[in-house]
Copies of this chain bind each other. A is one copy, B any other.
Amino acid sequence: MSPDPASPLSVGLNAVILAVTEERPRILVVEGTGESAHADTLPFGPLDPRGDRTLELTLRGWVRERTGLELGYVEQLYTFGDRDRGFHRATSGARVLSIAYLALVRETGTPEADNAQWKDVYDFLPWEDWRRGDPPLVRNTVVPALERWIRSADGAEAKRERRLRAEITFGLGGSDWDSDRVLERYELLYGAGLVHEAVRDRGLPEPPDPELPLGRAMALDHRRMLATALGRIRGKIRYRPVVFELLPPRFTLLQLQRVVEALAGMGTHKQNFRRLVERQGLVEGTGSLESRTGGRPAELFRFRKEVLRERRTPGVGLPGR
């Protein structure tokens, strides 16, 4: 990041590296520096204009160097380049462009390096986990705070607009919860001053409610990047077989289901989930059994590559679409 004082523009790469361990989505964060010393920070690296041929190779390179991780699946997420990305004091004036990437890995234990560590995604976005029904946090804290935000708008028209937006993004007033709208929800909460970054960036007063601001903060606009990543992967598992990047080569159907549910933040009907992945031809049995299930042993399955040729959209399918 450290912008060259001669140039008002600097460009860096950020990585949202996700894994799923014991039914919890995890993200790799490093210790911040300077202004953000105490906030969790996404791994980042400079873009060396004379370096690797592709941006993705650059990313893989410094992730390997700094964390010892060999990335598997990598895709570009979004380029963040607005002014005021939480830089108001740190780098006033300079423009920082961040090209964010999503990467999926199998968490293998403690990362080798530096100050990198795995943390729970839902510590940062606690309103996103609906696996056990609507979270009390949403019911007791988020919704009332949104109601206050709606009422505080100037004029009836502005109030109507805020209400509509809140209803759509948070599934209120008859709308259904759409698990994919992670970024929209974060941005609404940011705009409503309900996350710490908004308090920080706009110098708002700390709200009195101990549950507010919501979730755990990250440095700069990194939580926005995490939200972008979670939304992207939630959408993608429906039509591309990306979940398997997070699983060992052989797995039980329940393991597969738990990983999907962890990402999607919602539960699924066991028998229907099973029917779906089998009938689609997404997986195939290996014949061998896993007996440490706590119940009847389960067959071990593997991803069935041929499905790529057979199906236009080989994904896992979640309820409500």
- Chain A interface (Cβ within 8 Å of chain B)? 7-9, 11, 47, 49-50, 53-55, 76, 78-79, 81-84, 93-95, 97, 99, 164, 167-168, 173-176, 178, 308-310, 312-313, 320-321
Contact = CB atoms under 8 A, between A and B. Distances in A.
A9 B8 contact: no
A47 B97 CA distance: 10
Given A49-B94, A53-B84, A95-B50, A176 B312 contact: yes
A50 B321 contact: no
Contact of A76 (B79, B84, B173): B79
Copies of this chain held together in the complex? 2
Given A168-B309, A174-B310, A9 B81 contact: no
Nearest to A3: B49
B53 A79 contact: no
Contact of A79 (B8, B99, B167, B178): B99
A43 B220 CA distance: 32
Given A11-B11, A82-B55, A94-B49, A309 B99 contact: no
Nearest to A58: B81
Nearest to A93: B50
B310 A321 contact: no
B55 A309 contact: no
B95 A49 contact: yes
B321 A175 contact: no
A49 B79 contact: no
A76 B76 CA distance: 12
B174 A309 contact: yes
A266 to B, nearest CB: 12
Contacts of A7: 7, 49
A73 to B, nearest CB: 16
Contacts of A167: 309
Contacts of A310: 174-175
| Closest A-B pairs by Cβ, 10 of them | A49-B95, A8-B49, A9-B49, A54-B82, A79-B79, A178-B312, A55-B81, A53-B83, A175-B309, A79-B99
A8 B50 contact: yes
Nearest to A95: B49
A97 B53 contact: no
Contacts of A321: 312-313
A81 B94 contact: no
A120 B55 CA distance: 31
A138 to B, nearest CB: 17
A161 to B, nearest CB: 12
A9 B46 CA distance: 12
A47 B49 CA distance: 17
A86 to B, nearest CB: 14
A63 B208 CA distance: 46
Given A9-B11, A79-B99, A178-B312, 12 more contacts: A7-B49, A9-B49, A53-B82, A54-B83, A76-B79, A79-B79, A81-B99, A164-B308, A168-B308, A174-B310, A312-B320, A313-B321
